[in-house]
Structure 1
Amino acid sequence: MPRWGRELLGWTVAAAIAIAAVAVVAASPRSELLFRDGDSLVTTLVVHSLAIGQPQDWAMSSVLFLPEIAVLWMLSLLGLGINATLALAGVVNVLALYGALRVAAGSALRARAPIAGALLGLTGFALLAATEGSASRDALELASLLTTTTYYSATVVAAVLGVGLARRAIDRNDVSRGTPVAWGLVVTLALVAAASVLTNPLFAAWATVPLGAVLVVVAWRRADVWWMAGALVTGSIIGYLARMPLAHLIANTGAGYIDPSQWRASLDYYGVLLADRWSAPWGAASLLLIGALWAGSIAVTRQLAARRRVGAAIVAACGWVMPLLVIVGAVVLGTHAARYLQPAVFAPLLTLTVLPALLPDRLTVTRLVPAVGTAAVALVAAAGLGIPSLVAAATAPDADLDCVVRWTEDSGRTGGGQFWTVRLPKTHLADPRGLVQLDHQLRGYAWLMNRDDFAVGEVSFLVMDDQSPAFELPAGVSLSDAEMTACGRYTIADFGDRTLPIGPLRS
């Protein structure tokens, strides 16, 4: 089979794996994060705001979600609807991970069975994602976060891609002895680092520090590697500086999430999450698999280093160095968020991409008929099981949500609600400005939303549910003054002609 045919076959199988993985997540309670979570909807709200021509004045977290927004905007042009677009974005994210793993697996001219290695890594991801079924965003279920558009999917892909670019540069230097530095790959690595830090400074902790550390160790024996380490650091610095003109969009720099004095509380927090994961269905199996991948990464690193396959050894080393440094760093800095530990899951997958390098030279890794047969089976499984499951999850009726959306649009007025309550109905409105995000004291809550929403100055009804605390209304106003409309899990308190002023903004 020609090389392009093998690559096409690899992408075909990867697409089938991606569809199957997202279908499993969408059919589980984890679909809450995919379709309905307040954080997960920020990219959809941005795309929706752009589509209606609203002035853009966003209050974002330290993460700007620039690649995720761009991809979601392009997918939204297909006109599939909100949930279907989010499901498709999940499939695209998994395919992007395959692309990054394919880069890390090496060139077909210089690596053994790189397509098989990349598919092996993607299969490992799919198995881990299939074991995760909690609706909680704080659960230690990290693989399935890649299927969302807001839990750092672009940063995950960029971190894997960065490792792959470093490996490709070293492999090229090994065979191009007249060219001591692969400048094109060095510049590309710098650009990836700059763009990644621009959109999410967490890339520096996930990739710049651990990959840089591995490159520095190798650089003591290979001078050309210093260029890659320098490109990684320089690109990260440029990306951080590029954030300065966008400071008005960043409502929280992330500095408040760091408190080294809380390291013991952080250790206890992650320990509880680990115990919960161990006791969850399939949780112990996933942790054992991750542990085996960590241990395997160390063993594979030693084997590849002994065989002087430097590029592949760097990939395998990142499989255990990244998780080690990120986990220790998260505890030392006193953080309390499971999503910060995602390298513990995706980094060991890198080792699977280089496993074929340890196979005997005379072993025939790929034959045409088995490869085509595998692709056919995968496509049939995806089409027969994954796609219908995805469609069912994306089109599942939500009468309560429909009730709020219909009532709001029929009223022709502007209402308000708290973060976890109002974001889902707001996302599904034809004009998201029909619902404004408030806190319990009716102050404008400028967090992951467009500040232009608050230009209306007042609201005439409130949307409530059990996820948010009771409102503290102005003096002389009570809920008894409102006409209540029940919409299942939501309740609409309509004050009619009486309006409630929006208080000062906070984030």
Structure 2
Amino acid sequence: MRRFWVRELAGWFGALALAVITAAQVASSARSGLLFRDGDSLVVAMFARSIVSGESMDWAMSSVLFLPETMVFVGLDLVLPLDVNGLLAVNAVINILALYGALRLVAGRRSAGRTPVTWALLGLAAFCAIAMTELSASRDALELASLQLTTTYYAATVVAAVLSVGLVRRALDRESGGAGFLVSLGVTAAISTLSNPLYAAWATVPIAVLLALLTVRSRRRMRLLLLLGALLGGTALGVLGRIPLQAWIANTGAGYAQPERLVDSLGYYGELAADRFSTPLGLLACLIVLALLVLAAIRTARAADEGSRFVAAVAWFMPVIVVVGAIALGTHAARYLQPLAFAPVLALVAAPRAIRMPIRLRSLLAGVAAVLLAIGGIVSLPRLAATTAAPDPDLTCVTDWVSASGRTGAGQFWTVRLPKLHLDHPAQLVQVDHQLRGYAWLVNRHDFGIGEVTFLVEDAQTIPWSLPAPAIPDEVIDCGRYRILDLGDTALPLGPQRS
């Protein structure tokens, strides 16, 4: 028993080192904007801070409610004495650790001839290697693994999809019983679908199809049907659970499906793939994914048991069906294709058999790997801390001026969200469009109750203003990449809300 816990703890420490190394590398690249400054990426931090502050809330969310992500961030905010960037960095590490936990579940129980901890770590290492090749600042690039480090781009849904595969695998590996796995699968599906309907596309559909196919040849059809029922039932409950929350869902997501734009979608994703292939690191990441897909196909054909065959099949079938579905629906968002990054990794944990080698050599390799991970983690910690603590004088200029003014101003979505998050009183900045209409998207609609504003914040992303009345600023405050147009005693009324 002691050796069991030593192995498991060693696996978690190894995963922690990989998480820190990966977070430090991504945060030190141009992709750090997605972690700390991007308008979309800040919604969970803004929502969590709104909850912690106890202010009146009437949030306008997208089709995604970010429930698990918000719970994690609220917990971190209440426990850790860190600023927003520090919390986002810690959250990035936790997201990678959560993925390891899901991979460890998929790898199955340890038994003679099996080393699931080792293979789960190898799976996480492959995923982290892909993430560390992703260095661009674009949220639209086909750089999918690094999105796991953000609080916004469906980190909880990624973990839930892998977790669901693991629960099915654990149930299939048991000769009898397994009611706990059935219940856990249903609960996971319900919570995940409630928070993000994309879970149904990433997990429910591919897993359900594979379970249905397995029932054709399996002698344990009842168990497979129960698993299928738990998955579908949990997903259905999640959909029903969204009905009472409709007031907070500003966009159901139905408009994202445009099958008539199939050709455009194919061209869009094709261009993203070509861009990814055009760089050495991008090519390396694509070769890793391709190798994992080939391994998944081989292990599907050679699987010795249902559990291994199921996991191996998911590793290639899930990305295939998601990519085909995304194109068929005419979508134009790289983030929808994240199974291309995480699902192929499952090939490494499908059959976690021990590699035959002399015990001394195995011990030597394990020791060297542990030392390298420890050194990498230790070296990366100050690197990650330095990145999160890097000063932003332009942002500080804005927040200091707004706080000192005691007044309420406005700015457009891509401009105002970062200063808004970093203010002591976020309601001092109202999110509007270029016509000064309240822009009710990923924001607390309670902010619009102020009715009027007396200054505007703008930057290079700001669309030229089309104001309802002429407004000549008394003063223009230069804050580097930002400008504050101080209207003095002139108050501009907010227009009707739109989303």
TM-score of the superposed pair, with normalisation by structure 1: 0.95
Measured after TM superposition, the shift of residue 366 of structure 1 is: 9.2
Aligned counterparts of 1:365 and 1:109: Cα–Cα separation in 2: 20
1:402 aligns with 396
Give deviations 1:180-207, integer Å, cap 9, x for gaps. x511111110110000000000000000
Matches within 5 A, 1:309-324: 309-324=305-320
Aligned counterparts of 1:64 and 1:111: Cα–Cα separation in 2: 43
Measured after TM superposition, the shift of residue 372 of structure 1 is: 4.7
2:16 aligns with 15
Q: Does 1:62 align with 2:63?
A: yes
Aligned counterparts of 1:229 and 1:282: Cα–Cα separation in 2: 39
Native 8 Å contact 2:169 2:308 kept in 1 = yes
1:292 is paired with a residue whose SS is helix
2:346 is paired with a residue whose SS is helix
Q: For structure 1, which runs of at least 5 residues remain unmatched after alignment? A: 174-178
1:284 aligns with 283
2:378 aligns with 383
2:44 aligns with 43
Matches within 5 A, 1:111-130: 112-130=114-132
Measured after TM superposition, the shift of residue 51 of structure 1 is: 2.4
1:232 aligns with 231
Measured after TM superposition, the shift of residue 365 of structure 1 is: 11
Aligned counterparts of 2:385 and 2:272: Cα–Cα separation in 1: 32
Which one of the candidate residues 482, 493, 499 is aligned to 1:501?
Answer: 493
Q: Does 1:346 align with 2:347?
A: no
Measured after TM superposition, the shift of residue 359 of structure 1 is: 4.7
Give deviations 1:341-385, integer Å, cap 9, x for gaps. 00011000011113433856x87699556535532331222112x
Report the CA distance shift for 1:440/1:51 in structure 2 as closer, same or farther (over 3 A): same
Matches within 5 A, 1:29-428: 29-77=30-78, 78-109=80-111, 112-173=114-175, 179=176, 181-220=177-216, 221=218, 222-223=220-221, 224-304=223-303, 307=304, 309-357=305-353, 359=355, 370-384=365-379, 386-428=380-422
2:263 is paired with a residue whose SS is helix
Task: Give runs of ≥4 in structure 1 deviating > 3 Å.
Answer: 362-373
Give deviations 1:190-225, integer Å, cap 9, x for gaps. 110000000000000000000111111112223121
Native 8 Å contact 1:48 1:432 kept in 2 = no
Measured after TM superposition, the shift of residue 262 of structure 1 is: 0.6
Aligned counterparts of 1:242 and 1:82: Cα–Cα separation in 2: 31
1:176 aligns with none
Measured after TM superposition, the shift of residue 455 of structure 1 is: 1.1
Native 8 Å contact 1:52 1:431 kept in 2 = no
Aligned counterparts of 1:445 and 1:124: Cα–Cα separation in 2: 41
Which one of the candidate residues 446, 462, 467 is aligned to 1:452?
Answer: 446
Identity rate of aligned residues, in percent?
Answer: 52
1:41 is paired with a residue whose SS is helix
Aligned counterparts of 2:358 and 2:258: Cα–Cα separation in 1: 53
Native 8 Å contact 1:12 1:375 kept in 2 = no
TM-score of the superposed pair, with normalisation by structure 2: 0.96
Native 8 Å contact 2:475 2:486 kept in 1 = yes
Query: What is the number of residues matched between the two proteins?
Result: 494
Report the CA distance shift for 1:500/1:212 in structure 2 as closer, same or farther (over 3 A): same
Measured on the aligned residues, the alpha-carbon RMSD in Å equals 1.6
Letter in 1 for 2:295: G
Letter in 1 for 2:299: V
